[in-house]
Structure 1
Amino acid sequence: MPTKSALAQQLGVVAGFDNPQASLEQYRTPPELAAHLIHTADLQGDVQDRTVVDLGCGTGMLALGAALRAPTAVVGVDIDPAPLATARQNERKVGSTTSVSWVRADATRAPLCPPSDTTVVMNPPFGAQSGNEHADRSFLATAADIAAVSYSVHNEGSREFVESFASDNGGDVTHAFETEFELPRQFDFHEADKRHITAEVYRIVWA
C-alpha cells in the first residue's frame, strides 16, 4: 500500500474550483486531508475491492484519492456541472487505473443503488452560510441510506450532532479525529488572504 504522504503528493495535481459558489460552500479539499481520510479508510478495509461514492464530490479530490487505492468502482456525485468538468480533467492528470463515474445530481437525493458494502466519502457543506444551516445533515442521511460505512468531514464542534444523528439512524461512530487546514481567500466576504480552520472527520458504520 502506498504511504499517506505519497497519496497526498499524487493528489497535489487536483485542481480546485474555477468559479466557486458560496451558497454551495465550494472549497478545494486539501490533498493532505483527503490523503489522511482515504488512507484511514483503506487501513480499515473500506476502499480496496469496495464501491466508493463521493457525495458532493466537487472537483473530485476524495473520489480520485479512493480511485488510487484499488476499489471495485468509484462514483462522484455533484449538483454543479462546472466542477464535474474539472473533475474529469483531474482524473486524467491523476492517472488512476480505476475509472470514476461522474454523476450530476443532488447528492442529498443521489439516484444510486450501489452494492450493500458501499463506502461513502464526503466533505459536505458545513452549513456556514445563512439559510444553509445543518446542510451536512442531509448528506449524512444519504450516507445512511446507501452506505455500509461512511467517512465525512464536519465543522469543529460537531461530535455531539454526528453521534446523535448516527445513533438515531442505525449508525455507530467508530473513529473520529481532528484536522487543521488552510482556507484561502476566495469569496468577497473573506477578510483575510487565508486562515486556518479546524475540522473533524468521522467514520460511521451504518446498520
Structure 2
Amino acid sequence: MKNITRKKHLEIKLQSIPTHPKPKVGLEQYTTPSIIASDLIWNAYSLGDIEDMNVIDLGCGTGIFAIGCALMGANLSIGVDVDVDSINLACEVKDKLKLDNVKFINKDIIDFNEGYDVNTVFQNPPFGSQRKAESGQDLKFVKKAIELDPEVLYSFHMASTEEFLINHYENSNLKITHIFRYKFPIPKIYDFHTKEKQNVDVIVIRAEL
C-alpha cells in the first residue's frame, strides 16, 4: 500500500538513502539525486506504472528507484546490481524503512534471469559521461530489459545521443511515449575529476513494449 502522498515527501524519504559507499570507476557509479529520482518515480506513478506492479531496477546501486517504487505502492520491487557493497547498503536501508515488498539481488544484470513477472523496469546504466567509458553499456541494459518482457521501460541516457536512441528504440519495436529531461550532477569523486561538480544533460526514455 502506498504511504507517500506528495512528491516532496517522497524526495525527503529518498534523501535518506546513502550514496555509493565505495564508488568504482569501472562501473561508472554515480548516485541518482533524490530530486531526480523522486520526480521520475512520481511521473511513473501518475502514469500507472508503479502501484500494484512488479518493478525491477537494473543496476540499482544503493536502491533509490527500487525503494522509491516500494514506497509508492509497488507490489514487488527488485533491485539488481553487480556491486556487493551497494547491495549490502541497499539492504540496510530497506530493513531500516521496514519495507517487505523490496528485494535486492547481487548479480550482473546480464546474468539476471529469475523468472519474475515484470510490469515496469527502471534503469540508470553507465551512460558514457566519462571520456574513457566503454560505449554502448546503456544499450546492453536496454537489451536485458527487453528480455525481461515488461510492459514499460524507463531508461537513462546521455541527451547528446537522443536521435540515435530514438532510432534504436524504434528498431527494437519499442514505442517511446515520453522523454524526461534532467541536469544530472556529476560530483568530484574520482581522481581524474577536475571540477567539484559538473552537470550533464540526460534524458529518461519511457517506452512501452
Same fold (TM over 0.5): yes
Question: Relative to structure 1, is the Cα distance of residues 90 and 198 closer, same or farther in structure 2, using a 3 angstrom cutoff?
Answer: same
Matches within 5 A, 1:134-153: 134-146=136-148, 147-153=150-156
**CA shift digits 1:82-110 (9 cap, x unpaired):** 100011112234x2544311111111332
Secondary structure (helix, strand or coil) at the match of 1:138 reads helix
**Cα displacement (A) at 1:52:** 0.2
* Structure 1 segments of 4+ aligned residues over 6 angstroms from their partners: none
Given that 1:70 and 1:98 are in contact with CA atoms closer than 8 Å, whether structure 2 keeps it comes out as no
**Cα displacement (A) at 1:5:** 1.6
- Which of 156, 174, 180 aligns to 2:183? It is 180
**Cα displacement (A) at 1:24:** 0.5
Number of residue pairs the alignment of both structures matches: 204
- Which of 87, 92, 108 aligns to 2:90? It is 87
Q: Which residue does 1:45 correspond to in 2?
A: 48
Q: Which amino acid aligns with 1:40?
A: N
In 2, the alpha carbon distance for the partners of 1:114 and 1:176 equals 27
**Same amino acid, percent of matched pairs:** 32
Q: Does 1:78 align with 2:81?
A: yes
Given that 2:28 and 2:133 are in contact with CA atoms closer than 8 Å, whether structure 1 keeps it comes out as no
**Cα displacement (A) at 1:189:** 0.5
- Which of 21, 30, 33 aligns to 2:33? It is 30
In 1, the alpha carbon distance for the partners of 2:68 and 2:170 equals 28
Secondary structure (helix, strand or coil) at the match of 2:156 reads strand
**Cα displacement (A) at 1:131:** 5.5
In 2, the alpha carbon distance for the partners of 1:127 and 1:108 equals 18
The alignment yields a C-alpha RMSD, in angstroms, of 1.5
Question: Relative to structure 1, is the Cα distance of residues 110 and 196 closer, same or farther in structure 2, using a 3 angstrom cutoff?
Answer: same
Q: Which amino acid aligns with 1:100?
A: V
Q: Which residue does 1:122 correspond to in 2?
A: 123
Identify unmatched segments of 5+ residues in structure 2: none
Q: Which residue does 1:168 correspond to in 2?
A: 171
TM-score by length of 1: 0.93
Q: Which residue does 1:111 correspond to in 2?
A: 113
In 1, the alpha carbon distance for the partners of 2:98 and 2:135 equals 36
In 2, the alpha carbon distance for the partners of 1:104 and 1:140 equals 19
